[in-house]
A and B are shown apart, each in its own frame.
Chain A
Amino acid sequence: MLEVRDLATAFHTRRGVVRAVDGISYTLRRGESLGLVGESGSGKSVSALSLLGLVPPPGRVERGRVLLRGRDVLAMSARARRAVRGRDIAMVFQDPMTSLNPVLTIGRQLTEGLRRHLGMDAAGARRRAQELLDMVGIPGAHGRLDDYPHHFSGGQRQRIMIAMALACEPAVLVADEPTTALDVTIQAQIVRLVKELQARLGMAILWITHDLALVAGLVDRVAVMYAGRIVEHARVRELYARPRHPYTAGLLRSMPAASGPRPRRLHSIAGQPPDLAALPPGCPFAPRCGYAAEECRRTRPELTPTSPDAAVACLRWREVADDVGGAAGAPGVRRPPPTAGGGEFP
């Protein structure tokens, strides 16, 4: 359905070239959902914008291919790309106000895509817009097509964004932190809404988030990004049960549970996220990594398959997997992973 090959996006700034996305590849099959997880600066959001050539200057997609149903989106004319957007692939962002036009009624904004992409007439599009608002759970949808975005709460605006994204029943939905700005009870509602709509419409979802807990029950596979690259990907169960990259393992361990025994101390990842304009040679996680050896500081590890459906970019992944997961057949063997010594402020 969606195939991303060696996508790279760079920002040419006065401080130097920032390789926000540095050669990432993944595949999204029909009806499947993939979680793209990373912290700020990991490149996860830029990679989403890059899919449709929406990167703002001074950013530029430097190389790579984005194959949507076999056609390369990046090689298309701007006009052809606009036609693909909304009809074949749609996006939902963290802040709906950046995507909703504040001076147009939501009815106008909802019907626009229907008329352009599906060639509906005004009355038909309006009827469909009402159905869409109903579908995403806007109370009293019928009377609300003539309201403006500011008449709605944050959660409702996000529902409207989802309605707009799904208006033409796209094959792929890219959801970039759609619940991050929302309260947790509203997040729970939106997550269920998207899940239900996915089951009903059969679309594939790329779910971009910083929250490993959120995607656990939501996606089939997870790709973890760090400093512009995917450092690990696996099926969701495998990733949580047996992370192979020290960064993934560290993130999973640093989340305190909402039930069960309370830890005496939280595990934390030492140091700071990397400065993309001044990446160290070798593995960008090495300065924060308790497993880092001499060779990790010299060569940046490539993403290497560890099983038919998983890969990791770490020279010492076998040790990591043994420490945190207990190798298959050796349950209960849990050694606390080493912590990076001292070097919090190099």
Chain B
Amino acid sequence: MTAPLLEVSDLRVHFPVTRGAWRRSVGAVRAVDGVSFEIRAGRTLGLVGESGSGKSTTGRAILRLLRPTGGRVRLAGTDLGALSAAELRRARQHMQMIFQDPYASLNPRLTVGAMIREPMDLHGVGERAERPRRVAELLERVGLRAEHARRHPHEFSGGQRQRIGIARALASGPRLIVADEPISSLDVSIQAQIVNLLADLKEALGLTYLFIAHDLSMVRYLSDRVAVMYLGRLVEIGDVGDVFERPLHPYTRALLASVPVPDPDRPIPPEAPVRGEPPDPAEPPAGCRFHTRCPFAEERCRIRAPELAAVEGAAPGQAVACHRAEELRAC
């Protein structure tokens, strides 16, 4: 078994809530509140959850695009929180991000070639004279052409811009890629192209992905394991096959049951899989954060927050944060 490339333990990101002209601190939004998981080298973990779940904040905190409030992130054994600013800059060579919006994440004034070359110059990848050739290789690798290096981002369509974003993320030769909703702003016919490209690149370059997405079908296709977040916490984690076929947490079940099925012969049941809306992350409910919407909630769920733990009789590697997981496994 390969060692984990990424180890996240008890990661916390709290944003202060301020009020009034003096920006008096009146509390904190616990956007990420004690999240732990690991990803083995060469594997993909899908991180799913709805808006406000903290999945994107988790991705950004791992890459230290924002400073975590607590917890530890280790990349290939190195504690990223213990690094100096200069060391962290060097470490970024090994971890890169693909963003949701290829329009916003590319500098409109630079040529595509200059943009892809930038991380190479920054991290001193290869000989200077070699870099233009490497830019051309990367463009071809992501399905564009070498001569596209001379053009500007606005000359490309959304799908092509996402390919440019991917080429730029690959330029420093990273081992870990955090892909934050990389397909959700793209047209349906283009999404499959990009997902296939990500799968090919992983295969060819031995990459490790944290794939953050709300599209569960795409997560199922691309990931080895999947983690489900709700209001800043992981509620379930496990191998994709296990979680999708036998979800244990009531929220995971509701989420999966909410995905529309492209089959006219499967009528939509009259009852929605889950009632209500997620509570305000600034004032999460006590106890289990899902208890306000959970059909199975009982007294203890309102009082004490369940820990993420293995469940008797469930698949190995599947863990769930639910007091009633064992009872519910049977039904």
Would you give the 0/1 interface string for A160-200, flagging 1 where the beta carbon is closer than 8 Å to chain B?
00000000000000000000000111111101100110000
Instruction: Please tell me which one of the listed residues B190, B259, B278 contacts residue A258 in the complex, with CB atoms under 8 A apart.
Output: B259
Q: Are A217 and B277 in contact (CB under 8 A)?
A: no
- Cβ-based interface call for B271 (8 A): yes
Which listed segment binds B: A67-75, A80-88, A141-149, A266-274? A266-274
Which listed segment binds A: B3-11, B33-41, B210-218? B210-218
Complex alpha-carbon distance, A40 and B268, angstroms? 26
Q: Are B157 and A272 in contact (CB under 8 A)?
A: yes
CB-CB under 8 A for A257 and B217, given A187-B258, A216-B262, A217-B260: yes
Q: Are B263 and A258 in contact (CB under 8 A)?
A: no
Instruction: Please tell me which one of the listed residues B144, B145, B160, B188 contacts residue A210 in the complex, with CB atoms under 8 A apart.
Output: B188
Which listed segment binds B: A15-23, A44-52, A246-254? A246-254
Q: Are B195 and A258 in contact (CB under 8 A)?
A: no
> Which among A156, A191, A217 has the greatest number of chain B C-beta atoms within 10 A?
A217
- Cβ-based interface call for B127 (8 A): no
Looking at the assembled complex, report how far the CB atom of A169 sits from the nearest CB atom of chain B, in whole angstroms. Answer: 21
- Cβ-based interface call for B51 (8 A): yes
Q: Which A-chain residue is minimally distant from B245 (CB atoms)?
A: A259
Instruction: Please tell me which one of the listed residues A40, A153, A266 contacts residue B187 in the complex, with CB atoms under 8 A apart.
Output: A40
CB-CB under 8 A for A217 and B274, given A184-B259, A250-B189, A256-B217: no
Complex alpha-carbon distance, A123 and B259, angstroms? 42
- Cβ-based interface call for A240 (8 A): yes
Interface residues in B145-194 by Cβ distance below 8 A to A read 145, 157, 159-160, 187-193
Which residues of chain A come closer than 8 Å to B145, judged between CB atoms? 345
Would you give the 0/1 interface string for B257-284, flagging 1 where the beta carbon is closer than 8 Å to chain A?
1111111111110111111011000000
Q: Are B187 and A39 in contact (CB under 8 A)?
A: yes
Looking at the assembled complex, report how far the CB atom of B37 sits from the nearest CB atom of chain A, in whole angstroms. Answer: 21
Q: Are A237 and B189 in contact (CB under 8 A)?
A: no
Q: Are B260 and A254 in contact (CB under 8 A)?
A: no
Which residues of chain A come closer than 8 Å to B254, judged between CB atoms? 185
Q: Are B255 and A256 in contact (CB under 8 A)?
A: no
Instruction: Please tell me which one of the listed residues A191, A262, A267 contacts residue B192 in the complex, with CB atoms under 8 A apart.
Output: A267
> Which among A183, A187, A240, A267 has the greatest number of chain B C-beta atoms within 10 A?
A183
Would you give the 0/1 interface string for A36-68, flagging 1 where the beta carbon is closer than 8 Å to chain B?
000110000000000000000000000000000
Complex alpha-carbon distance, A251 and B262, angstroms? 11
Which residues of chain A come closer than 8 Å to B192, judged between CB atoms? 254, 256, 266-269
Looking at the assembled complex, report how far the CB atom of A240 sits from the nearest CB atom of chain B, in whole angstroms. Answer: 5
Complex alpha-carbon distance, A269 and B277, angstroms? 36
Complex alpha-carbon distance, A188 and B145, angstroms? 42
Counting contact residues on chain B (CB < 8 A from A), the size range is 35 or more
Q: Are A217 and B266 in contact (CB under 8 A)?
A: yes
Complex alpha-carbon distance, A254 and B274, angstroms? 28
- Cβ-based interface call for B103 (8 A): no
Instruction: Please tell me which one of the listed residues B240, B261, B272, B278 contacts residue A192 in the complex, with CB atoms under 8 A apart.
Output: B272
Q: Are A263 and B245 in contact (CB under 8 A)?
A: no
Q: Are B268 and A195 in contact (CB under 8 A)?
A: yes
- Cβ-based interface call for B196 (8 A): yes
Looking at the assembled complex, report how far the CB atom of B243 sits from the nearest CB atom of chain A, in whole angstroms. Answer: 11
Q: Are B188 and A188 in contact (CB under 8 A)?
A: no
- Cβ-based interface call for A211 (8 A): yes
- Cβ-based interface call for A201 (8 A): no
Q: Which B-chain residue is minimally distant from A240 (CB atoms)?
A: B264
Which residues of chain A come closer than 8 Å to B268, judged between CB atoms? 191-192, 195, 217-218
Q: Which A-chain residue is minimally distant from B144 (CB atoms)?
A: A345
Which residues of chain A come closer than 8 Å to B258, judged between CB atoms? 184-185, 187-188
Q: Are A217 and B187 in contact (CB under 8 A)?
A: no
Q: Are A263 and B187 in contact (CB under 8 A)?
A: no
Q: Are B275 and A266 in contact (CB under 8 A)?
A: no
3 closest pairs, A vs B, by CB?
A268-B192, A183-B50, A213-B262
29 contacting pairs across A/B (C-beta < 8 A): A39-B188, A156-B277, A183-B278, A184-B258, A185-B255, A188-B272, A191-B260, A192-B270, A210-B187, A212-B262, A213-B260, A216-B263, A217-B266, A217-B267, A218-B268, A237-B265, A240-B262, A240-B264, A254-B188, A255-B217, A256-B218, A258-B216, A258-B217, A262-B220, A267-B192, A268-B196, A272-B157, A272-B160, A272-B190
Give me 10 other A-B pairs in contact (C-beta within 8 A), A217-B268, A258-B216 excluded.
A40-B187, A189-B272, A211-B260, A212-B188, A213-B260, A256-B220, A258-B220, A266-B221, A268-B193, A269-B190
